[in-house]
Structures are given as C-alpha cells and as structure tokens.
Chain A
Amino acid sequence: MTSADWPDDFEKAVRQHLPLLADGTALTSEASLLALGLDSLATVGLLVEVEETFAVQFPDEDLRAETFATPATLWAVVVRLRDGAAT
C-alpha cells in the first residue's frame, strides 16, 4: 500500500501525532509509529481524532499495539470499521 491509498485527513491526523517525523518527510505505510514518537498519550490523541474524522468507534479488540504499529495497520482498521458501519 502507498500513502496515496488513504485520504489527506488521515495523513494529517497521523502526522500531527508524530513528533519525530520531519515536515518534508513522506509518511510511508510501513513506518513504525512508535519509532516516530507515538507514545501512549499521543496514541489516545490519534485515536480520538481518527474516530471523530471517520465517524467510527474502535472496539476493545482493536485497541492493541498492533493496530497502532504502522499507518497501514491503523488505516486497515479504520476501513474495516467504516465499511462495517456503512452496511
């Protein structure tokens, strides 16, 4: 997956919570969010923002480290929840 696969809103939300990602640098789908500075408080901030932006609610099963591992893993969960909610 490339960054083109997710909307700008998502990109913006994620970037905002990564203190160690320099402004001009691309956010790759496999980047480690942890390594880019996503600590536990930032995770909460990102969660809230993504839930509001995409009108989804993460169930407990998805509140795991694996979900917040990379932009790709997080986006995959958002897509599943959004599509699930639509049907």
Chain B
Amino acid sequence: MELSQRSAALEAAARVRTILRQHAGAADEQARVCEPGMAELRRSGLMGLLVPQERGGLGGDLSDLVEIAQVLADGCTSTAMIWAMHCQQADVLIHFAAQPLRDRLLPRIARGELYLASVTTGPSTGGHLLSSASPLTDTEQGLWVDREAPIVTGGLVADGFLITMRSSPDAPENEVSLVYADRDQMDVVERGDWDTLGMRGTHSVGLKLSGAVPRSQVVGGDGAFRTVALESMAPVGHLAWAACWLGAARSALGELVGLLRSAERPGSIDIRSELVAERLARIRMDLELVGAYLCRVTAEVSQLRAAGASLAGTATQIHLNTLKVIAADLTFRSVDRMVQLAGLSLGYRRGSALPLERHFRDLRSAALNYANDRLLTATGALTLMDRSVNLA
C-alpha cells in the first residue's frame, strides 16, 4: 500500500473505532455481534485489507494488519477480534485457494460482502488444530461436509466458512483438509449459545454445518491443512490476535491515564506517590515488551514471506508461539494491575467510567484462545532442537 492509501485505511479504521466505542458496552452486555460496527467495517473496505488491489482490495500487508487491529481493539476488542480472524481466513484464501476460487471470493471479500468465519475447533479434538474427527465424504453432489462446530466467532452473521475436516473416512485424524463453504451451500443449525465471561461481542456460537461443496473448494490440497496452518493461519492469527489484545490493553491504559490526569481522579489515588508511579511503570513496561516483540515478529514473518521462504523453521515457530503466549499473559497482567491501581469503584465495578472490568474479562480469554499450554509444549520441544538459540 502506498502512503496515501495507508493513511486512508487508518482513517477508515478510526471511523469504525468511533462507532465501536459507542456500541462496545451493548455488544458485551447482550453477547451479540455489534451490528453497526460490522456494517461500518463492511462499508469501510477494511474487510479486504489483505486482498490484493487488482482484486479490488486494499493490498495491505501484515504491518497494516497489526496496526489496524490495534485501532479497532481500542474501540471494541470483540469486534476487532472478529475482523482479525476474518483477515486470517482471507490470508489463507489469498495464499492457498486455487485460482478459480480466489477469483470468485476475493472480490467479494474486498467489497465487504463476505465475512469469513473459521471452524477449526472440534467437539472431540478440542483446540488441537492439526486434527479433525469429522471426515469429508465423496458423494455425487461433491464433498459432503457434516461438522459440529462448537465455537464459531460471528457464526450467525458469517457469509462463508473455512472448515477443517478429516480428508476422508479412512484417513487418520491428523490428515486434515481445509474446505471453503458458502453459507448458501450449508444447512446451518444453531447448537449452543455463547454466554461467556468475556469476548461476549464475538458471539462465538455453536453450529452444526452440513452440505456439499465442489472438490475445487478444498483449500491448499487434500490433506494439506498442516502446511496452510504453518504458513498462514497460525502465523497471521498470532500476529493479529496479539495486536488485538495489545490494542485493548493500550486502550485501557490510555483511558486510565486520562482519568488519573483529570479532575475526576479519585482522591485516594495520589499520582505523585512512588507506589502509583511504580505500578504505572510495570503496566507500561508489559505493553512496551509486547509492542516491541509484535513489531519484531511481524518484520520477521514479512521478510521471510517476501523472500518466498517458509515460516515453518524452528526458530520462527518459536518466535510466533512466544508472541502469542507473551501477548496473552502480559496484556492480561497489565489490565489486572490496572484494576488493582484503579480500585473497586473505577476498576472493578460494571458501569464505571472506565471499562476496565470488561477489558479484564475479555483479555482473560487470550490464554485460552488457542491454549497457551499447547503452544508452550511445542515451544519447549522446539527449544531442544535449537541449540544455537536463534532469538527473534
């Protein structure tokens, strides 16, 4: 993207943020997708941020992605996450869909007509990304998809789905194919509600999807989901999620500092005290670390991609996992500390002038949204394979 386009995209994101700010509380309260925010996102062109310009998109890159995710999360963390996950799915199609499918879908994404939801979690395989229990079956109408999808962010408003499936009834659980399904091609039944501690505005409902898709809608080849996950879905996900969480924590800190500098500051908080200063410093340092590491790993991934190199190398995988885990841990720790600093009325009470308790609940999900434990296990194993300790 050229400079002028980049600033236009940032201006569009700022406009969306204004709307998100007005509705974030309601989306959280009702546990529903913020419709005005989604409508503005669709209008803004940002749904096609990563889509190349020749397909009508903005042609943005990964640094645009992480920057805009932070702006959106400053308005509403849930909606930012919906957008971030959509961009993650779009990146998969851009890099792995066969040409005819790309030709068909990318212009629709760019026009904001196609919100892509993701179906990787399964009822029996849990969060294990590289396995799926439900098989694709070959039928006369095409590949038959029959899939329980317990958590689908924005599932009720999705226009299309990227779904992991076992590649055939005889294939082992780890031979996974990714298929694209239009909403029109699927019979969509709502299965479970979404009444959670936080991230309520993602309305990540349970769905049962069934229907047939043509073979040409397998993305990345039969049984090739592992490559798709390693080269696109996981890296772009970790970058975009980390950016959303950081954006939320920055927003929280910005508002807290604004209040501490204002006349509304509670008398009990003495901002000239060393204790308050030390607490603020610790909060700020956590966000500095996440910000710097996010920037660094974004650059690493961008450089490797520009060189046509794989992201599956040991050190790069360690960096990407580390980014996700530290972003989840440190942004949550920072809002936890903000709650402590702000105290009960400002920090803990619903309806406070600062939405700190909402940020706290939202960011608690970060360690679960692709379980930190899974990533730590993988990172530990990979660490034993990298004696030269190639840091990011």
Contacts and interface: CB of A to CB of B under 8 A. Distances in A.
B381 A20 contact: no
A43 interface: yes
Contact of A43 (B172, B174, B312, B385): B385
B220 to A, nearest CB: 16
Interface residues of A, number: 14
B388 interface: yes
B166 to A, nearest CB: 12
B377 A63 contact: no
A77 to B, nearest CB: 14
B174 A44 contact: no
Contacts of B380: 41
B187 interface: no
Contacts of B226: 34
Contacts, number: 36
Interface in B339-392: 377-378, 380-382, 384-388
Q: Give chain B's interface residue range (CB within 8 Å of chain A).
A: 10 to 19
A41 B312 contact: no
Given A34-B226, A60-B387, A63-B386, A44 B381 contact: yes
Contact of B388 (A39, A47, A60): A60
A20 B382 CA distance: 21
Interface string A33-48: 0110101110110010
Contacts of A65: 312
Given A20-B172, A35-B172, A40 B382 contact: yes
A34 B312 CA distance: 14
Contacts of B312: 65
Interface string B203-236: 0000000000000000000000010000000000
B335 to A, nearest CB: 32
Contact of B175 (A35, A39, A43, A47): A35
B174 A37 contact: yes
A40 B174 contact: no
